[in-house]
Structure 1
Amino acid sequence: MLAPVLRKIIQNKTVMIERYLPSKGNLFVQKGDILEPFQKLGDCMHSPNTVYFPKEFEPVKFLREKVYFQKGSLIGKIGAKKVTADENGYMSFDEVSGEYFYEDMPVKFTLLSGLWGEVSDVIPESSVLIKTVVAEVDLVACTPNFSFGELVVFPNPTEILEKFYLESFVKSTEGKIVYVGHYADLDTIKKARDLKISAIVAGSADPVGFSFAKSANIGLGVVSGFGKLETPDFVYKLFNSVAYRHVFFHGDLGVLRIPMSGVEEETVSSKKKKTPLKVIKKVTKGQKVQVLQKPHFGKIGTIDRVSVSSIFVRFDNELGPVEIDLPNFFIIE
């Protein structure tokens, strides 16, 4: 009997990752340098927040040059509504769009490597191209966002625990990438938006929540699919082992890239490395499978035995093996 293989983690030795400054600045590395995650690549002065006002915005005075305002100062009106400066900064006029915009005072931005690797190329005052090793976790569905941030890993919780963890981390989740458990419902995704989380990863989500994330420009990636599906245990263990490491959410590529050190790379099973891999395999006892048959849809278990046109699968919370018909399952690696 043959079945399709869903390969969730792949090791890739030749990934090139670009780290760039948000504004022109200074870079302190050169081609051939060996990097570690907390090594400083460069710095620049950068405004952390820029707000464009609608066409109906009326400034306190006509201006075309950059004008400084203090926090709390009146800078204009939109209809009858007064607009004040949230922070010290500058208001300017964009000649191309014909809109006024406000920039917070520039602050020093420090660019860290965030990974182990070797500098492959440097674009002066702009960016660094790094050759590195990553573990790529396949995301079967994700919004087309890109983000980079610290990975926060929650347990695979019940819905009540999930909300408790989000509330508990309210002061520390901004700009981070958060694994929220087996299932991300609409309320969790909305909470992630409110907390300014960079991206969330879950075992599964529903189409409504996914559509909301896409429309709200929130990074959302699911490991197993739509519905209430579990995250494979070995994927969750990988997340746990690299918690609080900086990772890369590539929605356009459908992967979560986790930088790995040379020592960690040596411990990765050879079957997870970037070599020619089969898309179907012979079904054998002991393989991990994800089931697509009710009432066990989405569950992951271990093959106990194989018959002519079905398999018998053991789940953690079941007393005995459950028969699953071909083709209602795929092999998980």
Structure 2
Amino acid sequence: MKILVTGTAGFIGSHLSLKLLERGDEVVGLDNINDYYDQNVKYGRLQRGGIIQEIEEGKEIPYGKLLTSSTNPKYKFIKLNLEDKKAMMQLFEKEKFDAVCNLAAQAGVRYSLTNPDAYIDSNIIGFMNILESCRHNNVKNLCYASSSSVYGLNEELPFSTNHNVDHPISLYAASKKSNELMAHTYSHLFGISTTGLRFFTVYGPWGRPDMALFLFTKAAIEDKKIDVFNNGEMLRDFTYIDDIVEGVIRVIDNPAKPNKNWDKKEPSTSSAPYKVYNIGNNNPVKLMDFITAIENKLGKKIEKNMMPLQAGDVPATYADVTDLVEDLGYKPATPIQEGINKFVDWYLEFFGYNKNL
């Protein structure tokens, strides 16, 4: 297939793009490479795919120009904003995609408290442009990133895709729920197969520098204190990146179909070609146990600053992946210590630390 992967310089998008190329697909990657976090990590991810071999100091990647990988002719990259409707339409008209996986978004719960406009631009207007581009260019296979944050004030565990998600507690979560509603509309009106993926706390090599694993590992190496929110009582369904990518690929290969026996009490499916899945490890881990796994790998204790629950955070996440297993025969399973070991090995190498720490 020829697949558009938006957010290809991002954490999940970069891993997904390389995996699709590995199996023989043609990939066009799109990203605006914004400065929400360290751009060197984003450039490093692109270099893995042969898009950029050397970043010259002060030199910008040209906007709106398709670049071809130096190592794989089936991989192209374009620097573009999702909000740029004209450029998006032109890209779709030119490239004629078989499928689209939209992973580009303004991420982060806490950032949405201080920079709400960024979420409207990228996550709402940008997603609208994705839907319109699919509609007008006969793309019938769309999957997109949602988030476990949509469960908001829901306290019923594990989180099921058939639970009510009408009470988000951050604008980020609200923007992701909006994507699911918008996608259903286009599935119903225009027959586009859309599948939303509610990711649960993704971690692993090449991860986001604003995420806990990155921050904790850096602090541990530098002998600094870490802020531990909710006094360490957080429960998170940490999901390793390779497990996430496998789930996404299975969704790309199995576009949503109309449910002829649809029960209107099941919001995760529809009479339209629409579906929502949880992709999580189905095994929540206490934040303190997560920190202990980092300490085990590094062989040192981390000083902790115990903090209250932060605005916009939910105290626990836990994915019910029944639909994922039944429909796609898949369930994430990487143990937390194994995943953290792989991350720390990558972190020490990428940032040039002594591996004997």
Q: State the TM-score bracket (shorter-chain normalisation).
A: under 0.3
Q: Which has the larger radius of gyration?
A: 1
Highest RCO, 1 vs 2 (Cα 8 Å, sep ≥ 6) = 1
**Greater strand proportion:** 1
TM-score by length of 2: 0.20
With structure 1 as the length reference, what TM-score do the two structures score? Answer: 0.21
